[in-house]
Amino acid sequence: MGNRWVRIEEKKSETEAGFAAGLPPLPSLEVVYRTDPAVLASVLPPPLTPPAEPRVHVRVTDIDLTFGDFHYKELVGYFAVDAVHDGVTGEYPLLIPIDLESAISISREKHGEPKKLAEIELTRDGDHVEGRISRNGVSFIEIVGDVTEILDVPGPYPATQWWYKFMPAVSGAGFDGDPLLVRYDQTRSPATVEKVEGKLVLRDEPTAPVIDLPVLETVSITYTTRSSTGRASVVGPVDPVAFEPFAYARYDH
């Protein structure tokens, strides 16, 4: 019997190779809304700066994949605001809820994705669609509506996300090493896009305070299937003193 505490890989697993090749079209229920520009600006850690338009992106995605004989299943949420760095407008996720515990640590430690365990639902019955994200008994994100129109499918388009990778200090104050700003560049390729008439409801949940970014105007609600490929890279270190107030909410529990 080998030493299971030590793992040496000569090649990528089927799962890792599958993700590296990009994701196939996945179903996703998505909302874009405008919020208070002052509130949005207040949640951005430096060096991110506010965008021209104060938009928030909310979505629930069902990832159901098979790599060879291996079946991979998870539901993932997403709550992000638009943010600018070095002239590039991207999405800064405040929260990435996920229902697969084993995916949390590697996402945080390797890339800096703000993932937290949650209960997530995405259902479609005919034209009726529903998505919910819950923590501590509270459905703090709820999207409910009906598909009303098939929309034109755009071609592949680029999208950028901003993440922060950091290690809290052993001493309990600050960080061990400087936090890093990570840039994730995607190419998103829609396969289908449908318009949804419905509503987004945000509720108060202390470990996921999405309600603090009020819905002032709904820009769009869509049900889409979309594939994507992406690559993460380190932009560079950020000021640890300036970033520290923003760290807790991303990794509290």
What is the structure's pLDDT at 71?
A: 83
The angle formed by the CA atoms of residues 195, 200 and 202, to the nearest 5 degrees, is 160
What is the structure's pLDDT at 105?
A: 82
What is the structure's pLDDT at 9?
A: 67
- Compute the distance between CA of residue 189 and CA of residue 209 in angstroms, rounded to an integer: 31
Q: Would you tell me how many other CB atoms lie within 10 Å of the CB of residue 108?
A: 20
Residue pLDDT, tens place only, 18-68: 455 567 899 999 999 999 999 999 999 999 999 999 999 999 999 988 877
- Compute the distance between CA of residue 214 and CA of residue 126 in angstroms, rounded to an integer: 30
For the four alpha carbons of 88, 89, 90 and 92, in that order, the dihedral sign comes to positive
| CA nearest to 19, candidates 228, 234, 190 | 228
Q: Would you tell me how many other CB atoms lie within 10 Å of the CB of residue 47?
A: 17
Q: Please say if the pLDDT value at position 196 is more than 60.
A: yes
What is the structure's pLDDT at 181?
A: 98
Specify which residues 180 forms β-bridges with: 165, 237
- Which CATH number is associated with domain 14-150+191-227? 2.40.400.10
Average pLDDT over residues 82-108: 93
Q: Where are the domains of the chain?
A: 14-150+191-227
pTM of the model: 0.92
Average pLDDT over residues 60-78: 89
3-state secondary structure of 35: coil
Kindly report the average pLDDT of the chain as a whole number.
Answer: 92
Whether the CB-CB separation of 154 and 193 falls below 8 Å is answered with yes
Residue pLDDT, tens place only, 111-130: 999 999 999 999 999 999 99
- pLDDT over 90, % of the chain: 78
Specify which residues 65 forms β-bridges with: 72
Residue pLDDT, tens place only, 161-195: 999 999 989 998 899 999 999 999 999 999 999 99
- Compute the distance between CA of residue 108 and CA of residue 102 in angstroms, rounded to an integer: 11
For the four alpha carbons of 99, 102, 107 and 113, in that order, the dihedral sign comes to positive
Q: Would you tell me how many other CB atoms lie within 10 Å of the CB of residue 80?
A: 20
What is the structure's pLDDT at 26?
A: 96
